[in-house]
């Protein structure tokens, strides 16, 4: 491996409350930090400028398109893709350095990280506790799939899994839920509409029962009730997620049908 340097890439939009802690948690391992900001109106760019001069401003595009676009600016072989609501512990950074050195003569092209969530101020013991994501990879071996939301990183070759976890803080308070759920459910609906431009007659009936079923699955079966009020809140909001996607998808289908009829 001639160049084992690490480039950190991150997309931002009005992240002044979180971006400093995020960048502080990775600056030790970063040989360069690349920020693409989607025209923030707060102090995000000013804060980022304390860590890097590689800041690019462009209107927001979906996650995958932005990340793939960012790769053209990467100068190092290895890339760590992060979000502003993620934190890396010193133990995880040490493990990353150790694994790069250990595997440098092998065929590992990407590393998955376990995740631990912090929601409404509490570290969650059961919420998505088996989740793993590819975030660390060789630049020339990876691209994000073309999806509107929840795009996966596709890395050629072998993968390995880190032992230490990324701390993820997606929902700090109700304002985060209010801001995120409408956007993400709309993007999910648009992605579904690409492949489903018609409906089965029974789908709306199933939608009525999804929040009840999902809440029971998240809260009882997955034992999130053990995380107190935070466990209840995250299960309540996320149990409505797929139902919200359904409703927005139905609207897109109906609009599509009416346009075709009028033509």
Residue 201 burial (CB count, 10 A): 6
Q: What is the pLDDT of residues 76-131, one digit of tens each?
A: 999 999 999 999 999 999 999 999 998 887 889 999 999 999 999 999 999 999 99
The pair of three-digit structure tokens given for residue 223, joined into one six-digit string: 């034992």
Q: What is the pLDDT of residues 10-66, one digit of tens each?
A: 999 999 999 999 999 999 999 999 999 999 999 999 999 999 999 999 998 888 999
Question: How many Cα atoms within 13 Å fall on the side-chain side of residue 209?
Answer: 5
List domains and CATH numbers for the chain.
6-170 (3.90.550.10), 173-262 (no CATH)
Of 132, 127, 102, 144, residue with least CA distance to 232: 127
Q: What is the pLDDT of residues 140-196, one digit of tens each?
A: 999 999 888 888 999 999 999 999 999 999 999 999 999 999 999 999 999 999 999
Could you tell me the pTM of the whole model?
0.90
Residue 120 · residue 72 · CB < 8 Å: no
pLDDT band for position 2 (50/70/90)?
A: very low
CA distance 79 to 194: 30
The pair of three-digit structure tokens given for residue 212, joined into one six-digit string: 């009840």
Of 23, 25, 27, residue with least CA distance to 11: 23
Please provide the size of the chain in residues: 263
Of 102, 235, 84, residue with least CA distance to 160: 102
Distances (CA, A) of 22 to 198, 221, 243: 42, 33, 32
CA distance 252 to 206: 18
SS3 199: coil
195's enclosing H/E stretch is helix 174-195
């Amino acid at each position: 491996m001639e160049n084992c340097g690490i480039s950190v890439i991150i997309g931002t939009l009005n992240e002044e409350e979180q971006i400093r802690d995020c960048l502080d948690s990775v600056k030790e391992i970063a040989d360069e930090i690349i920020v693409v900001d989607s025209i923030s109106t707060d102090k995000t760019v000013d804060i980022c400028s304390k860590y890097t001069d590689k800041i690019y401003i462009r209107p927001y595009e979906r996650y995958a398109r932005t990340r793939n676009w960012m790769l053209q600016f990467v100068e190092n072989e290895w890339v760590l893709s992060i979000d502003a609501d993620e934190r890396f512990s010193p133990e995880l950074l040490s493990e990353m350095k150790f694994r790069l050195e250990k595997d440098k003569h092998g065929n590992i092209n990407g590393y998955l990280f376990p995740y631990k969530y912090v929601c409404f101020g509490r570290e969650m013991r059961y919420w998505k506790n088996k989740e793993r994501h590819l975030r660390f990879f060789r630049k020339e071996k990876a691209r994000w799939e073309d999806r509107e939301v929840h795009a996966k990183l596709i890395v050629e070759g072998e993968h390995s899994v880190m032992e230490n976890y990324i701390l993820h803080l997606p929902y700090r308070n109700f304002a985060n839920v209010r801001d995120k759920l409408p956007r993400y459910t709309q993007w999910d609906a648009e992605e579904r509409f690409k492949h489903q431009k018609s409906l089965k007659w029974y789908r709306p009936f199933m939608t009525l029962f999804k929040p009840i079923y999902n809440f029971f699955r998240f809260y009882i079966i997955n034992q999130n009730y053990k995380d107190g009020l935070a466990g209840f809140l995250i299960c309540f909001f996320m149990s409505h997620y797929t139902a919200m996607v359904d409703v927005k998808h139905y609207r897109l289908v109906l609009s599509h049908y009416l346009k075709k009829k009028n033509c």
